[in-house]
Amino acid sequence: MPKHSKVTQREQSNEHVTESVADLLAHEEPVDYKRSVLNVSSETHSKDKEVEEDSDSEDRPAWNSKLQYILAQIGYSVGLGNVWRFPYLCQKNGGGAYMIPYLVLLIIIGIPLFFLELAVGQRIRRGSIGVWNYVCPRLGGIGFASCVVCFFVGLYYNVIIGWSIFYFFKSFQYPLPWSECPIVKNGSMAVVEAECDKSSATTYFWYRETLNISNSIAEGGGLNWRMTLCLLCAWSMVGLAMIKGIQSSGKVMYFSSLFPYVVLVCFLVRGLLLRGAIDGILHMLTPKVEKMLDPQVWREAATQVFFALGLGFGGVIAFSSYNKQDNNCHFDAALVSFINFFTSVLATLVVFAVLGFKANVMNEKCVVENAEKILEYLNLRILSHDLIPPHVNFSHLTTKDYSEMYNVIRTVKEDHFQELRLDACVLEDELNKAVQGTGLAFIAFTEAMTHFPASPFWSVMFFLMLINLGLGSMIGTMEGIITPISDTFKVRKEIFTVSCCVCAFLLGLIFVQRSGNYFVSMFDDYSATLPLTIVVILENIAVAWVYGTKKFMQELTEMLGFCPYRYYFYAWKYISPICMAMLLSASLIQLGISPPGYNAWIKEMNAECFELHSWALAMLISLIILAVFPVPMVFILRQFHLISDGSNTLSVSYKKGQMMKDISNLEDNDETRFILSKMSSEAPSPMPTHRSYLGPESISPMEMSGISSGRYGSNYLIATSPESEL
């Protein structure tokens, strides 16, 4: 720089150096604000970055279309939980009445927090680590905690996709392999496998043929080689889908997000044509209003809303960070949230239609088996023929006739009725059997499909749907790891993606040993719930209380072009934090009341038994601590200035059209004078747009007076960042 430039002439002056820079820029001709970009970047980068509002000139990838982005968010939020968790909660918590607390909580905490994550991702255009480092460096551990939880969830979630892959390939045969119990030779006799005979064909196939499960989590039993190959296949699919970032995963989403809806609609149409489907749907829709007074129902509804939208994982922020600045993320939040809800309702209708059919089949089977017992008792004269109503025909026995006969026998033989071992065979009892998770998908639903005409076709469709639902969620989960890490540490995305998948596959081998299902169950129940709740609470606090809700609303107004509803101000500042704190407290109380454990399949008993191992409990506590540990660690390190917050000496570049006047190449001593001994914490973080992301107590450009070069100076005169106020 020339020795007599304005910057060097003022080195002895007490006047702030930024004014001299403003004067320097003031000599330039006025330019259009939209085409002028002032970029403040860290000296730690190997070279200064030019950032323009025009997305064509930005290095950051962008979605090919709005449809691709919406499908990605839907594919991420709509997952396996919509198919097997929501229907179970609906059945357990009052049928149609459960949808009222779910909708209320979706509006109160779901949509506002979803909108918050979409907005910060789109505004700052970084992954979760970069976003929370920028909003509040001392709470920068939030982003790292999200990555840790995503990694934990991804480890076991892909195992479920592996199970679905195994069932998918097994479906290409008729009859389906889980439709009948296997026959084994006992000497010269062929008998039904005892374990299968005492349970059911689908239960036996799941626990013995698929998992070859051990009796306890302590009995590892070695790797299940078939599940290991399926897990390798699942991670290969995820890696290939994400190898090119959103350019590859976005194309995958066109199929993985839309195909499940095609399958659900086909299953609904087919299910409604099945005998007894209406019984199942009416059972689901019949509201039990008294259940709404149970706090446990509201806790489970809040938890389902929380996880259904994928809050806290970082995937929502990562996907949103690839949007244009003027995208209407407010509309996106409402659209994706309600699509998620309607998908859950659609899946519930399908599940209960099929389970209604299954309940009728099982009830008719129960009637036939017990009618045979009664005939045997009549032949042995244990029961008198006078007890059988005259209109009853054993050749065409209906459930109504059996119920009448059962009640007569129970009344007359009251003293010895238990010895007869007759079942009531009530349809309502079959419908009330609550099944969730793997029990619904791999046992109850598969058993129902064995009674379908062309059952292999429906089985292939069902498990292909599960694979796509899981793949869409896995892409979002892994994006919550890959995007923030690659943004922060500038690693090559392709290499890091492959490394993550390989590492996750190796660590995931613990889930494909014979006791692996128990680890999946415990990880699913306990490893993510508490850490994610804490993460979302801290996200809410960081924006609403540290950064400032008013400032955030002002930024949203500038970004969206309209002011969001005033409701969001109160939701972010008061309602959501209180509701999330209540959810966290309820979860801790529930954890204390019901110690963590798992249901073990005992081969000798042919039944599940709840077990609790102290070392397994210690492992879960360690996982929870490990997941939230980055938050206090980063806070302490930055509180005592043990690590940098990413803001060092500044380099300033100003672009006018195609001409660049660069003043970043200052000599060392000139650069020191240029920043006038400002503390490093006062230097702003890189801001990827033409507007500064205003921190607490910052002065808005509109509020400044007496500054003639405000058009150019808005990005460096307002150089104060959230970091400098903390």
Q: What is the mean pLDDT of each run of 10 residues along the chain (726 residues)?
A: 42 43 46 40 36 46 87 89 85 82 91 93 89 89 92 92 93 87 77 79 88 83 89 93 82 87 91 86 82 84 88 90 88 93 91 86 84 83 78 78 82 77 80 71 83 88 92 90 88 89 92 88 82 91 91 90 90 91 87 77 76 76 88 90 58 32 39 39 40 39 37 33 36
Residues 6+ apart with CB under 8 A from 356: 274, 276, 277, 278, 279, 280, 281, 283, 431
Is residue 181 within 8 A of residue 201, CB to CB? The reply is yes
pLDDT digits (tens, 9 = 90+) for 624-678: 889 899 999 999 998 888 877 654 332 333 333 333 333 333 344 444 333 333 3
pLDDT digits (tens, 9 = 90+) for 191-211: 877 778 777 888 888 888 888
82 annotated as belonging to a binding site for a ligand = yes
379 annotated as belonging to a binding site for a ligand = no
pLDDT at 435: 66
No. of helices (H) and no. of strands (E), the chain: 33, 7
Q: How buried is residue 18: exposed, middle or buried, by Cβ count under 10 Å (0-12/13-18/19+)? A: middle
Q: How far apart are CA 443 and CA 321, in angstroms?
A: 40
Kindly report the backbone phi and psi dihedral angles of residue 576, in degrees, each rounded to the nearest multiple of 5, phi listed first: -65, -45
Closest CA to 161 of 607, 504, 609: 504
Q: C-alpha 528: how far from its chain's center? A: 10
pLDDT at 540: 92
141 annotated as belonging to a binding site for a ligand = no
250 annotated as belonging to a binding site for a ligand = no
pLDDT at 664: 37
Q: Token pair 């390989």 is at which residue?
A: 502
Give the CA distances from residue 224 to residues 28, 156, 163, 208, 590, in Å, rounded to whole numbers and listed in that order: 71, 15, 12, 11, 34
The CB-side HSE value for 157 (13 A sphere, CA atoms) comes to 27
CA dihedral sign, ordered 415, 418, 422, 424:
positive
340 annotated as belonging to a binding site for a ligand = yes
pLDDT digits (tens, 9 = 90+) for 378-405: 888 787 777 777 777 777 778 888 888 8
Is residue 209 within 8 A of residue 443, CB to CB? The reply is no
Kindly report the CATH class assigned to 84-361+435-643.
mainly alpha
The pTM of this model reads 0.77
356 annotated as belonging to a binding site for a ligand = no
Q: What tokens appear for 390 in the block? A: 């005259």
Number of Cβ within a 10 Å radius of residue 61: 16
Q: How far apart are CA 553 and CA 565, in angstroms?
A: 10
Kindly report the backbone phi and psi dihedral angles of residue 416, in degrees, each rounded to the nearest multiple of 5, phi listed first: -115, 20
